[in-house]
C-alpha cells in the first residue's frame, strides 16, 4: 500500500495555494514513505584540506584531551576480574565467536585487535574464517552453529561483507541473545524506544556515552550534534544521547548548513569517515568533542607511509573546545572494551550470574 | 556490566583539568548507560495560555490550511477499491483484531472510530473486550489466539493499558507480522535502520509523512524539528523524517531553549499533548506545521462543554507559517486511514497478492 495511493490535489482554505495542485485527477506521489534511498555522499578532498601542522604548545591549546586509553584499560581490568569470578562460579569463561569472510586487510586487523583483547581478559574465542566467495547458506550455517553452541555467548560477523551476501539477512540471523555488536533490529528497536532495555548496545556508541559519563560531562539538557548517521555508530549514538535527555540534532550529507548547526552544540560527536571534515570554526568554544572517525591518511613522516586520523581537525579543535578525544587512542580502545563488556554481560545472563 | 565498571579519575593532557577527577580510587558512575529514566514533564497551564479568540480573516492569515480530511477520504476510497479486488481474488477480506482492556472513555471512542472506518472500507473486525482487572495471562491468551488466526491480518491493543499490565511484554507478544500499529521493537528497529523496511510504520508518523508527500512539501535537506519523543508518534516521526533526509532535531521537556530551536525549522511536527505549547513566535515565517496534538480543552461555547485542540496555537501560527494542519480534522483522520492501509498491506502480504 505504501506509496501506491493516489495523490489528491491540494485544496487550500487560506488565501494562497502554496503547494502544487497537480490536477483534479489523482496522481501517485513518487517518493516512498520510507524516504528515497540516497547514499550519503559528503564533498571532501577539496573541501576539507589538512591544516598546516604546528605544535599545539605554541598555538594556545585549551582543550582537555580525554585520556580514553586509561579508561579502556581500567574497564578491561575490571572485566578480567569479573571473568575470573564467573569462571570460579560456573567453571566456564565467556565465549566470543568471530565470523570473518574474505581477505580484507582492515577487517583482519580489526579482528586481530578484538581477539587479542579477549585473550587479555580471559574471554574464549572461536574464529571461523570463510572464503570471499562463500555462499550465503554457508555463512548462515556457521552462524546457526554458533547460535546453538552454549559455549558461545557473543557472535560478531565482521562488516563489511562481500557484495554478493545479503548483510540484512545475515545480521537478522544472529540470535538477538548473542548479538554483542547490537546490530540486530530487535536490539536497535529496544534502544530507540525509551524505557526499554536492549540486550546489547552497539559498542562504539556505548563507548561514546561511557566516556561522557566517566569524565563527568553533563548530557541532560545539552545540545548535542551527531555528524553522520550510520547504523553502527551515528544512529545509535543519537538514540543514546536522546535517552540521556540531550537535545539531539543529526547532521548528514544532505544537511545544508552543517557548520551552522554544529557550532551551536555543547557536545559534538562525529562519525563521518572523512579526515578534517569538522574544522575549528564548526565548534562552539567550550564544546566537548567525541571523534569516532578512524581514517587512514597518507603520512610520509610515518614508518608505514600512512597514519590514522579522526574526522575532526584536531589542531584547530583543541584551541576552541573544552575537551576532545584523540584519534588514535580515543573512542577506538573503549569500543573494544565495550565488546568485551557486552560479551561478559551475555555470559552472565546465560548463567544467571550477577 | 552496564554502569558497574568503576569510574577512573580524569587524566588530562591539556593545561586545564575541566572535568571532575573524583580521586585516584575508582568510583562508580551512577548514571545508567541508557540514560536516567526521567519523565517528560512540560511546564504548562501557566506557561502556555490560550490566546484571545479572534477571527482569522481579520488577523492576516497567510497559511494554507492543509485539507487532511479530503486526503484521508481519498486514501479510504482507494483502500475500499483494493479491498474489493482482494476479496474478489482470494475470497476473503482483510481482518483487524481490536483488543480493548477496561472502560476508559477515550479508548472506547478511538476504537469506535477505528471500527467504523474499517466497516466503511470492507475490512472485517474482531473485537475482544477485557475487564479492567483482567490478568496479563488472559490478555496474552487473547493476543495469542489472534496471532494464530489466519483471518486476522492486523492486531491492535488499545493503549494505554491499566497500570497492572506490563505494556512492553504485551506489545512484544503481538506477532510482528500483524503489528499494524508498528509498535513492536522489531518493526521500530527496522524503521530506525536506514535501508531497511519495517513490516509496518506507526500510523500517525506515516500519516504525517503522507501529508507532506501528498502536498508536495520538500523534506530532503530541510531543517525539521519534532517536538515530543513518544514511542508512538514523536520518535518514529523523527526517524521517518531522517529517512527522508531532513536534518532532524528532537525537542523535549529537557530542551533548554525549545523556542530558539523550533523557530529555525522549515518543518515543525508537534507531539506533546499540551494545548498552545507552540506559539506563533516559535515558528519561522513560511514554515510548515504538522500538529499531532489531540487535546481536550474546556469550551463553554461547545455543546459538550469541551472541544479538541492541537499543540500549536493555531490563531497565532496561521499568521506566520506557510501551511498548517488543523485540529480536529488534521493528522487524526489520516492516521486512521494509515491503520486501514497497514491492515490491507498485511492481508496482501499474507495472500501474496499484489
Q: For B122-136, how does the pLDDT look when each residue is reduced to its tens digit (9 = 90+)? A: 999 999 999 999 999
| Domain termination site, one of B130, B149, B183 | B183
C-alpha cell at A176: 538477538
B112: pLDDT strictly greater than 90: yes
* A137 CB burial (10 A radius; 0-12, 13-18, 19+): exposed
Residue-wise pLDDT tens digits, B246-258 = 999 999 999 999 9
Contacts of B333 in chain A (CB under 8 A): none
Q: Are strands A267-270 and A223-227 parallel, antiparallel or unpaired?
A: parallel
Determine contact, residues A346/A214, Cβ cutoff 8 Å.
no
Structural domain count, chain A = 3
Q: Is the peptide bond before B328 cis (omega within 30 degrees of 0)?
A: yes
Active-site annotation holds for A106: no
Q: Is the peptide bond before B160 cis (omega within 30 degrees of 0)?
A: yes
Taking CA–CA distances from B193, the nearest residue in chain A reads A231
Taking CA–CA distances from B27, the nearest residue in chain A reads A214
Residue B246 belongs to domain with CATH number: 3.40.50.720
Dihedral sign computed on CA atoms, order B57, B59, B60, B64: negative
d(CA A109, CA B199): 37
Domain of residue A127 covers 92-181
Partners of A251 in beta bridges:
A227
| Cα distances (angstroms) measured from residue A301 to each of A273, A305, A311, B140 | 22, 7, 20, 66
Residue-wise pLDDT tens digits, B55-79 = 444 557 789 999 999 999 999 999 9
Q: Same structural domain for residues B152 and B222?
A: no
Quickly list H helices, B97-215: 105-121, 136-148, 167-173, 185-192, 203-214
Confidence category of residue B354, pLDDT binned at 50, 70, 90: confident
Q: Does residue A282 lie within any of the structural domains?
A: yes
Contacts of A10 in chain B (CB under 8 A): 64, 66-67, 214-216
Q: Does residue B258 lie within any of the structural domains?
A: yes
Residue-wise pLDDT tens digits, B257-279 = 999 999 999 999 999 999 999 99
Instruction: Choose, out of B21, B35, B334, the residue to mutate when testing the contact with A (most A CBs < 10 Å).
Output: B35
Q: Does residue B103 lie within any of the structural domains?
A: yes
Q: Same structural domain for residues A260 and A136?
A: no
Partners of A128 in beta bridges:
A99
Q: Does residue B196 lie within any of the structural domains?
A: no
Q: Does residue A96 lie within any of the structural domains?
A: yes
Whether A52 has its CB under 8 Å from any CB of chain B: the answer is no
Residue B126: closest CA among B203, B178, B188 = B178
Of A6, A34, A249, the CB nearest to B197: A34
Q: Does residue A45 lie within any of the structural domains?
A: no
Cβ distance of B220 and A19 shorter than 8 Å: no
Decide if the complex's ipTM is over 0.85. Answer: yes
pLDDT tens series, chain A, 354 aa: 444 443 333 333 333 444 443 333 333 567 788 888 788 888 754 455 555 544 444 557 789 999 999 999 999 999 999 999 999 999 999 999 999 999 999 999 999 999 999 999 999 999 999 999 999 999 999 999 999 999 999 999 999 999 999 999 999 999 999 999 999 999 999 999 999 999 999 999 999 999 999 999 999 999 999 999 999 999 999 999 999 999 999 999 999 999 999 999 999 999 999 999 999 999 999 999 999 999 989 999 988 888 999 999 999 999 999 999 999 999 999 999 999 999 999 999 999 998
C-alpha cell at B213: 508527500
Residue A273: closest CA among A38, A35, A48 = A48
Q: Does residue A343 lie within any of the structural domains?
A: no
Q: Same structural domain for residues B118 and B208?
A: no
Whether B71 has its CB under 8 Å from any CB of chain A: the answer is yes
Of A29, A318, A345, the CB nearest to B1: A345
Q: Same structural domain for residues B232 and B288?
A: yes
Q: Are strands B154-157 and B295-298 parallel, antiparallel or unpaired?
A: unpaired
pLDDT on residue A58: 53
pLDDT on residue A203: 98
pLDDT on residue A20: 43
Q: Same structural domain for residues B165 and B250?
A: no
Q: Same structural domain for residues A99 and A236?
A: no
Whether A24 has its CB under 8 Å from any CB of chain B: the answer is no
Confidence category of residue B34, pLDDT binned at 50, 70, 90: confident
- Chain A: give the shortest CA distance to residue B241, in Å: 8
Contacts of A121 in chain B (CB under 8 A): none
Q: Same structural domain for residues A226 and A327?
A: yes
Average pLDDT (B166-191) is 98
| Domain termination site, one of B126, B157, B183 | B183
Of A18, A189, A240, the CB nearest to B192: A189
Of B192, B323, B341, the CB nearest to A192: B192
Of B15, B37, B194, the CB nearest to A61: B15
pLDDT on residue B79: 98
Proportion of chain B above pLDDT 70, given as a percent: 87
| Domain termination site, one of A181, A207, A232 | A181
Cβ distance of A16 and B64 shorter than 8 Å: yes
pLDDT on residue A27: 38
- Chain B: give the shortest CA distance to residue A323, in Å: 8
Contacts of B251 in chain A (CB under 8 A): 247
Whether A243 has its CB under 8 Å from any CB of chain B: the answer is yes
Whether A64 has its CB under 8 Å from any CB of chain B: the answer is yes
Whether A63 has its CB under 8 Å from any CB of chain B: the answer is yes
B15: pLDDT strictly greater than 50: no
Of B26, B215, B252, the CB nearest to A19: B215
Residue B167 belongs to domain with CATH number: 3.40.50.10860
- Active-site residue identified among A158, A266, A284, A348: A158
Whether B261 has its CB under 8 Å from any CB of chain A: the answer is yes
What residues of chain B, 279 to 298, have a C-beta less than 8 Å from chain A?
Answer: none
Determine contact, residues B114/B336, Cβ cutoff 8 Å.
yes
Q: Same structural domain for residues A274 and A318?
A: yes
C-alpha cell at B228: 515530543
Supply angle C-alpha A234, A237, A243, rounded to 5: 145
pLDDT on residue A354: 85
What is the average pLDDT score of chain B?
89
pLDDT on residue B149: 98
Contacts of B318 in chain A (CB under 8 A): 14
Confidence category of residue B52, pLDDT binned at 50, 70, 90: low
pLDDT on residue B59: 58
Q: Does residue A312 lie within any of the structural domains?
A: yes
Amino acid at each position: 500500500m505504501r506509496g501506491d495511493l493516489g495523490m489528491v490535489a491540494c485544496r487550500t482554505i487560506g488565501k494562497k495555494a502554496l503547494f502544487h495542485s497537480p490536477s483534479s485527477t489523482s496522481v501517485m506521489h513518487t517518493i516512498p514513505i520510507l524516504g528515497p534511498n540516497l547514499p550519503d555522499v559528503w564533498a571532501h578532498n577539496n573541501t576539507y584540506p589538512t591544516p598546516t601542522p604546528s605544535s599545539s604548545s605554541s598555538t594556545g591549546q585549551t582543550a582537555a584531551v580525554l585520556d580514553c586509553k586509561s579508561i579502556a584499560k581500567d574497564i578491561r581490568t575490571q572485566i578480567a576480574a569479573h571473568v575470573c569470578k564467573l569462571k570460579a562460579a560456573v567453571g566456564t569463561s565467556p565465549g566470543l565467536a568471530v565470523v570473518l569472510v574474505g581477505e580484507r586487510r582492515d577487517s583482519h586487523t580489526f579482528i586481530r585487535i578484538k581477539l587479542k583483547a579477549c585473550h587479555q581478559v580471559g574471554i574464549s574465542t572461536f574464529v571461523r574464517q570463510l572464503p570471499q566467495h562463500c555462499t550465503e547458506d554457508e555463512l548462515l550455517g556457521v552462524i546457526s552453529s554458533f547460535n546453538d553452541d552454549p559455549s558461545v555467548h557473543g557472535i560478531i560477523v565482521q562488516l563489511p561483507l562481500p557484495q554478493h551476501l545479503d548483510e540484512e539477512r545475515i545480521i537478522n540471523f544472529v540470535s538477538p541473545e548473542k548479538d554483542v555488536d547490537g546490530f540486530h533490529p530487535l536490539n536497535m528497536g529496544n534502544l530507540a524506544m525509551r524505557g526499554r532495555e536492549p540486550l546489547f548496545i552497539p559498542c562504539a556508541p556505548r563507548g561514546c556515552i561511557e566516556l561522557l559519563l566517566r569524565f563527568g560531562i553533563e548530557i541532560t539538557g545539552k545540545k548535542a550534534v551527531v555528524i553522520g548517521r550510520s547504523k553502527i555508530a551515528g544512529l545509535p549514538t543519537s538514540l543514546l544521547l536522546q535517552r540521556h535527555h540531550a537535545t539531539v540534532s543529526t547532521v548528514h550529507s544532505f544537511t545544508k548548513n552543517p557548520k551552522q548547526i554544529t557550532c551551536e552544540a555543547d557536545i559534538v560527536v562525529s562519525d563521518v569517515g572523512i579526515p578534517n571534515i569538522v574544522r575549528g570554526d564548526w565548534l562552539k568554544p567550550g564544546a566537548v568533542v567525541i571523534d569516532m572517525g578512524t581514517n587512514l591518511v597518507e603520512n610520509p613522516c610515518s614508518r608505514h607511509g600512512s597514519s590514522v586520523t579522526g574526522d575532526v581537525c584536531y589542531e584547530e579543535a583543541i584551541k576552541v573546545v573544552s575537551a576532545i578525544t584523540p584519534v588514535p587512542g580515543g573512542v577506538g580502545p573503549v569500543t573494544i572494551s565495550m565488546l568485551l563488556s557486552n560479551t561478559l554481560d551475555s555470559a552472565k545472563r546465560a548463567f544467571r550470574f550477577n
